[in-house]
Structure 1
Amino acid sequence: MKGSTYRRCYCRDEDGRALNKSCPQLSSRRHGVWAVRQELPPRQDGTRRSFSRSGYSSAKDAQDALDQVRALLAIPDGDDTENQTRIGDLLEEVSKNAKAPLPDLAETRRRLVRGQKLTATMTVGDLLDEWLDVKRKSRKKTTLNGYESHVRVHIRPALAHYRLDRLGVGHVQQMFDGIDDANEAVAAENQARRAQEARCRWAKGGRPPAKERERLAAERAKLAEMPPYRRITGPASKQAIRRTLRTALNFAIGREYITFNPASFVELTPAKRPPGLLWTDERVARWRETGERPSSVMVWTPEQLGQFLDAAEGDRLYAVFHVIAHHGLRRGEAVGLDWEHVSFAGRQLLVAKEITVDGWTPIETTPKTDGSADVVSIDRETVAVLQAHRERQLAERSERLDAGLPWADTGKVFTDEGGGWLHPETVSETFRAIVADEDLPPINLRDLRHGAAALIKAAGGDLHDAKVKLRHSTITLTSDTYMTLFREYEDELTEKAAAVVPRARKAADGTSAHASLTQEPGNDDAP
């Protein structure tokens, strides 16, 4: 392909037309500038194009630029028309911007060989778009929602504008420092709102006087203008954000865009799992007094669980609560259970699917982890509960069909009134209503799963038994969550074991009834 260097100037004649090569002053070496012109491979539609650039101060500078353009054009093999066109696209794009440097030869060769983009420098934002496009085809919807939330709220606003190959540990650290700053602002706003709410309350009994009503109205107007309560981004959430960014950057390393993952070297506060605690009498009394929960993971005692199940027994969802409480299924796993995966004779059920929500829409997916998809052994009482539930479900089906109403044969163990999928949030709402009616200490539905671990300990099991029952991937996960709970049960069992030994009552004066073994009755002077 043809190419050359030449000298040109920008002089014009009296009519304003460019003189170009006809300028009489071009005979002087000090007049004009040097330029290059190189024919490029045709576009995909076959039209011709060229690379043109001027402004070089010497013939040598212009020739060096032309040699670099020709070296770039020589990277693809002579019969590789696809990559020749890509190089042409790159040089045509560069030619449009006089200030843009010529592409680096080694970098362009590397990108061409690896099938990467040539016409733009990849930013972190470009990487995130590409990575999420790939993940949309391979990841569960719930996992993808978590990735997209982290990217949208935290990662993209802070890092998207950086060049990917220049992203450093400092940039990522700044993002997390910004999250800490935002947490301080949120905490201050929440505290101000709590203080304002206190000013809006009339602490004395009866109707407040007119002057106080005016003051309260003014305080409530101020409260309405304040921002709502917001949650801070805690240590566990920051660790999850880093995992998302680290996964995206590992994807970039796999595509050979970069060779270093800065997210792996950011220092963050370790996220500790909240310990599971029993609702002991002392903690219940403290909660009723202050309204504060001792831990985010609270577990009912067997007596409290029995009170709940007794209250729930008349509800059509009783069986799902029973299965979760006794066998540790997650909410989505219980709602996604199929009758074909329940064996009454073998006293087993297979966790093979789960129903979760995307926003509000229920979706059916595989269980949370590979280890979660497993067989769960069930007791005879649970078999009886499920058999009774099956009979009620068949009766519901017959009643609807006899009434001319539709019934969806989904094959699910737990369904709505029409046989369709049971919305997971329906289970949670029903659970919360029963807890409130019974005035039980508060737990979340997922804490019923934690309660299954407590029942294992109460029955004499250990951490390994709990790991197997809950289908955890590692015993470390089980230990981090339930070690404190198991110790509390150990204390209770120790006290009960000591109480098994019958002892005589203490005497009224406080001396033991067994004092006669060492002291004669009535002999106060005995040694």
Structure 2
Amino acid sequence: MAQQRKRNPNGAGTITKRKDGRYQAAVYVLQPDGTRARKFAYGKTWAECDVKRRDLLAKVDQGVPVPTRSAKLSEWLPYWLENVVRSRWKLSTFDKYEAHVRLYLVPMIGAKRLESLSVGDVRRFLTRLEKQTTAATAKESHSVLRSALTAASREELVTRNVASLVEPPRVVSRELSPWTLDETLTFLAAARKDPLYAAFVLAVTMGLRRGEIVGLRWGDVDLDNRVLYVRQQTQRRQGRLYEDDPKGRRRRVVPLPAMCVAPLRWHRMRQAAAKKAAGERWQASEYVFTTRNGRPVEPRNVYRSFTRVAKDAGLRVVRLHDARHGCATLLVAAGVAPRVVMEILGHSQISITMDVYTHVVQDTQREAISHMDRLLKRRPGS
């Protein structure tokens, strides 16, 4: 008795046997431009082909575009940004990735199709980009491309991630040059009358990032028990202030140094006076650092004040972020274990902390060698 032909309902695609003995499934799928087109899948058996047909139908039900031919990078990268990066990653990450896609990847390599993109194409792109910009920019673009192709591989648009086969450009690490202890003390003395003095104390003694300082709320500060909770950060992106998790999504609880308590108490009294003076103009919030009207402080204004105080004190101007390095240097020099320093500063990897640790060890070695020189220069009987 002849085997009864298996039929699928309308819209569920078809499976036919080819002359070469293989089976072919055909399903109408959604295209990146919103149209519908026929997509073919092949298998050695009817059952194997049916599995692929069902996978295609599942994507149709989910509204996921399935290109009938290999998409160009200029088509895939914007789709990846909007449907993967924007929904899953932080806004700051989206902004950085979008800039690399718009400025470098699409203009320089966007005409290449996903399936035809080769290791050589990626290597030539990185070499050209490094010549036009910097090794650091080329390395970041490589990371963006690798992430985009990883997503394309998950959706079975490519069989391998060619970007992962290419080594990124080497970047020479910026030499750390944080303030010395004397410079730090000079800065803190000069900043005492600044409205953001308490913020600078937190940056220097606890290594808080700028966004973490701006996003700090009074509910995160326990002055009686001297504990600080780093739960969020505030950033300005796309023309607006927004709250997000700390960098690396590493929330942490850290002890509050004694020298931070008095500045924070003084700051709270000053804020209460400002609230009373503003009256109805005060915008209620729980932020520790606010403007005269209660609005959150702009992150860039924290750095501007930091730079102004440093210049007025006759100090060399460093980044506010370098205060974190200075904090790490002091902690390591005081004998605090690198793993503990990592937790206090919220580093995502111990290697970041060890970079500072190595810096301190080198300074200690120089001091030891200098001491040896002084000993060797002594003459017998002197």
TM-score clears 0.5: yes
Match of 2:125 in 1: 175
Deviations along 1:274-293, whole A, 9 cap, x unmatched? Answer: 232xxxxxxxxxxxxxxxxx
Give, in angstroms, the shift of residue 443 of structure 1: 0.8
Q: Distance in 2 between matches of 1:366 and 1:493?
A: 42
Alignment size in residue pairs:
351
Q: Distance in 2 between matches of 1:325 and 1:337?
A: 16
Q: 1:383 to 1:419 in 2, by over 3 A?
A: same
Give, in angstroms, the shift of residue 136 of structure 1: 1.3
Shifted more, 237-246 versus 320-329: the winner is: 237-246
SS of structure 2 residue aligned to 1:244: helix
Which has the bigger relative contact order, CA under 8 A and spacing at least 6? 2
Tell me, yes or no, if the aligned pair for 1:327 and 1:469 is still in contact at 8 Å.
yes
Give, in angstroms, the shift of residue 256 of structure 1: 1.1
Deviations along 1:363-414, whole A, 9 cap, x unmatched? Answer: 211111133x10121112211211111111111111221xxx5111210111
Match of 1:122 in 2: 71
Kindly, what percent of the aligned residue pairs are identical?
29
SS of structure 1 residue aligned to 2:281: coil
Give, in angstroms, the shift of residue 496 of structure 1: 8.6
Q: 1:493 to 1:331 in 2, by over 3 A?
A: farther
Match of 1:106 in 2: 42
Paired AA for residue 113 in structure 1: D
SS of structure 2 residue aligned to 1:445: coil
Give, in angstroms, the shift of residue 311 of structure 1: 0.7
Deviations along 1:278-325, whole A, 9 cap, x unmatched? Answer: xxxxxxxxxxxxxxxxxxxx2111111111111110011100000000
Q: Distance in 2 between matches of 1:442 and 1:482?
A: 23
Q: Which has the larger radius of gyration?
A: 1
SS of structure 2 residue aligned to 1:363: strand
Counterpart check, 1:275 vs 2:175: yes
Name structure 2 gaps, 5 residues minimum: 1-8, 44-48, 60-64
Counterpart check, 1:149 vs 2:99: yes
Q: Distance in 2 between matches of 1:75 and 1:131?
A: 27
1:355 to 227, 234, 244: 234
Q: Distance in 2 between matches of 1:498 and 1:456?
A: 28
Counterpart check, 1:317 vs 2:196: yes
Q: Distance in 2 between matches of 1:159 and 1:437?
A: 48
Give, in angstroms, the shift of residue 129 of structure 1: 2.1
Match of 1:384 in 2: 262
Shifted more, 476-485 versus 123-132: the winner is: 476-485
1:429 to 304, 315, 320: 304
Q: CA RMSD in A?
A: 3.5
1:107-506 equivalent positions in 2, closer than 5 A: 110=52, 113-114=55-56, 115=59, 117=66, 119-134=68-83, 135-182=85-132, 232-234=133-135, 236-276=136-176, 298-371=177-250, 373-401=251-279, 405-489=280-364, 491-492=366-367
Paired AA for residue 453 in structure 1: A
Tell me, yes or no, if the aligned pair for 2:70 and 2:157 is still in contact at 8 Å.
no
Q: 1:314 to 1:85 in 2, by over 3 A?
A: closer
Q: Distance in 1 between matches of 2:365 and 2:344?
A: 19
Q: Distance in 1 between matches of 2:190 and 2:99?
A: 39
Q: Distance in 2 between matches of 1:245 and 1:309?
A: 44
Tell me, yes or no, if the aligned pair for 2:191 and 2:309 is still in contact at 8 Å.
yes
Match of 2:46 in 1: none
Paired AA for residue 333 in structure 1: E
Give, in angstroms, the shift of residue 495 of structure 1: 6.6
Paired AA for residue 93 in structure 2: T
Q: 1:85 to 1:343 in 2, by over 3 A?
A: closer
**What is the TM-score with the length of structure 2 in the denominator?**
0.81
Q: 1:322 to 1:112 in 2, by over 3 A?
A: same
Q: 1:474 to 1:275 in 2, by over 3 A?
A: same
